[in-house]
Amino acid sequence: MNINKLAYVKEAKYLGVIICNDLKDDGDILRHLRNFYARSNSIIRKFHHCSVGVKLRLFHEYCCTTYCCQLWVNFNKGSYLKAKVAYNNTHRQILGYNRRDSARCMFANSAIDTFDALLRKNIYGLKKRIFYINNDFIMVMYNCFEIVNGPMWIS
């Protein structure tokens, strides 16, 4: 810009989301993972004497929030699996399940969505909000061939 050189960065944080220069979402998934562990460890440390109902409510409110996960479309499978394993293991720790207990049964017993179901619901909610929006620019983008056939809309 004019005389000043613009700084080149590999990643930047914008509105709480990490945007990388290679357009991969691994950095944002790892940000989510760090925040998730911080919240869940706080619940484990502060509320270990509470009833199961209280722990379930805390897990649902503080650990099932995945800000901007709807936009995760370009990531390594390893990053996604780390987030999924963290979600399962933390649920086990908070509720006192054994490490070898089935995650599917564990989530069914506690009426909490699995990590995959949580992401699918968030993606569906975004699609629904975009579909019913009353903004011409958003509707043009929504009907764009690249957007409609992109990875977020196919899933």
Look-up: residue for tokens 């054994």? Answer: 98
Residue 27: CA atoms inside 13 Å, Cβ hemisphere, count? 14
pTM above 0.85, yes or no: no
Residues 6+ apart with CB under 8 A from 107: 91, 113, 114
Buried residues in 33-61 as b, exposed as e (16+ CB within 10 A): bebbeebbeebeeeeeeeeeeebbebbee
pLDDT of res. 122: 86
pLDDT of res. 132: 79
Helix 77-95 × helix 52-63 angle, to 10°: 160
Judge whether 90 and 117 are in contact, CB under 8 Å.
Answer: no
pLDDT at 151 over 80: no
pLDDT at 148 over 60: no
pLDDT of res. 81: 92
Give one DSSP letter per residue of 16-27, joined into a string: TEEEETT--SHH
Work out the pLDDT band at 129, boundaries 50, 70, 90.
confident
Report angle CA 24, 26, 29 to the nearest 5 degrees.
Answer: 130
pLDDT of res. 142: 67
